[in-house]
């Protein structure tokens, strides 16, 4: 196996840092797309992925083309998913539904009826 050149390592580190830190930083600043849209009265599942999905796809594809290493996809993707799990610890839509739905609060649907 060939080792990565220095500029390939730098590219990998930069893309990894962007992928892992963009959502936590925006969350701290209150500029996370889900928060911004929710303040405008617009809310639907998957907003961060819709906003940052194309950006991450472009960065990962550029990194793959630069380094030629296919492992950038699962490794950086896993690290990004791990960082997102700390930004969004629970599914807010499910919490809202659970709070409104009497059937869900009593237990599973058919067993509670």
Q: pTM of the entire structure? A: 0.61
- Which residue range forms the structural domain that includes residue 106? 6-112
11 domain residue, yes or no:
yes
18 alpha-carbon distance from chain centroid: 12
User: pLDDT grade, residue 20 (50/70/90)?
Assistant: confident
- The average pLDDT across 92-110 equals 58
96 domain residue, yes or no:
yes
1 domain residue, yes or no:
no
- The average pLDDT across 27-34 equals 77
55 domain residue, yes or no:
yes
b/e sequence 7-39, b meaning 16+ C-beta within 10 Å: ebeebbeebbebbbebbeebbeeeebebeebee
Residue 107 pLDDT: 57
User: pLDDT grade, residue 103 (50/70/90)?
Assistant: low
**Angstrom distance (rounded) from CA 39 to CA 42:** 7
């Amino acid at each position: 196996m060939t080792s990565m050149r220095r500029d390939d390592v730098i590219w990998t580190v930069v893309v990894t840092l962007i992928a892992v830190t963009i959502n936590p930083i925006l969350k701290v600043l209150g500029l996370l797309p889900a928060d911004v849209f929710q303040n405008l009265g617009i809310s639907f599942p998957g907003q961060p992925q819709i906003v940052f999905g194309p950006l991450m796809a472009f960065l990962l594809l550029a990194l793959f083309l630069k380094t030629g290493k296919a492992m950038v996809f699962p490794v950086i993707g896993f690290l990004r998913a791990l960082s997102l799990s700390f930004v969004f610890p629970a599914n807010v839509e499910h919490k809202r539904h659970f709070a409104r739905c009497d059937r869900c609060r009593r237990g599973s649907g058919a067993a509670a009826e």
